[in-house]
A and B are shown apart, each in its own frame.
Chain A
Amino acid sequence: MRPLKYLLGWLIAGTRGGATRSEIIRSLRDTPQNANQLATLLGKDYKTIRHHLHVLEKNRIITSVGDKYGATYFLSQVMEDNYVVFEEIMNKIWKK
């Protein structure tokens, strides 16, 4: 999945909010949850989390179920199927 690799590379290593985005992806893989739970889990501002969720959803990395504020977020099917691509990027980035 080379296009996904490029997209994740940009979203994680090419943008200012990349580190938070990778934490969100990892957390959603463990447990699908809503913005509020993520904010508590990651110790980040609720609005920051909502912003990153919006960007990730716009790029089809995650999907949501439910109404706007209580929505639960999941990894998208593409992301779920290619989670190994994400792990590769993360290993390459933080192990050096």
Chain B
Amino acid sequence: MKLNKMDNSSKTVLFFIALIVAAVIVGSSEIYLSPFGSVFRPRAPQINPMDLEFYYIAQTLISTINVALVIFLLFTYTNIYRRTRSEFTIGLIIFSTVLLTRDLAANPVVTKAFGFVSYGLGPFALLPALFEFVALSIMIYLTVE
């Protein structure tokens, strides 16, 4: 079947599958092909010269703010659901609940409570939390607009 003859939903499904396949290939190549060794190979602790304490303080702070933002979204969606009983809103509630568990699992305060410490990440300790903060801010803006 020619690509331009396909209807829109088959194109969407195909695009989705292609993305997943690409992700699996990139992810597994990291394990099997990387010249620097797998990300999962046990290594002796080493000090990353780029590893600044600031990154971890900022990460802890922003991650905790993110948890608060997700809780705010969750409450807002729950309120909307109470009034609308909309399935669409149930989806948003489930989405923000799962995101909340993710944020709790990734929060350094929680990690530390379970006896684990992350180190050696350099600026990448901070960046995921920072970008998620931006994403959540946009989501909140759109939701309360």
- For chains A and B in complex, what number of residue pairs have CB atoms within 8 angstroms? 41
**Known contacts A14-B92, A16-B79; is-contact A92 B145 (Cβ 8 Å):** no
Distance (whole angstroms) from the CB of A14 to the closest CB of chain B: 6
Q: Could you say which of A13, A93, A94 has the most chain B C-beta atoms within 10 Å of its C-beta?
A: A13
For window 76-102 of chain B, which residues contact chain A by CB distance below 8 Å?
76-77, 79-80, 83-89, 92
- Say whether A14 contacts B85, CB under 8 Å: no
**Known contacts A13-B80, A14-B92, A16-B76; is-contact A93 B85 (Cβ 8 Å):** yes
Q: A6's closest neighbor in chain B, by CB?
A: B88
Interface residues on B, range: 10 to 19
Q: CB-CB contacts of A6-21 with B at 8 A, as 1s and 0s?
A: 0001101111111100
Q: Is the C-beta of A96 less than 8 angstroms from some C-beta in chain B?
A: yes
Q: Is the C-beta of B143 less than 8 angstroms from some C-beta in chain A?
A: yes
For window 122-145 of chain B, which residues contact chain A by CB distance below 8 Å?
142-145
Distance (whole angstroms) from the CB of A31 to the closest CB of chain B: 25
- Say whether B143 contacts A12, CB under 8 Å: no
Residues of B within 8 A of A55 (CB): 145
Distance (whole angstroms) from the CB of B9 to the closest CB of chain A: 10
- Say whether A13 contacts B143, CB under 8 Å: no
Report the separation of the CA atoms of residues A94 and B28 in the bound assembly, to the nearest whole angstrom.
47
- Say whether A14 contacts B79, CB under 8 Å: no
Q: B9's closest neighbor in chain A, by CB?
A: A2
Residues of A within 8 A of B144 (CB): 15-17
Q: A55's closest neighbor in chain B, by CB?
A: B145
Residues of B within 8 A of A93 (CB): 84-86
Report the separation of the CA atoms of residues A96 and B143 in the bound assembly, to the nearest whole angstrom.
23
Report the separation of the CA atoms of residues A19 and B89 in the bound assembly, to the nearest whole angstrom.
13
A binding-site residues for B, Cβ under 8 Å: 9-10, 12-19, 55, 92-94, 96
B binding-site residues for A, Cβ under 8 Å: 76-77, 79-80, 83-89, 92, 142-145
Nearest 7 A-B pairs (CB), nearest first? Answer: A13-B86, A13-B88, A93-B86, A96-B85, A9-B88, A93-B84, A13-B89
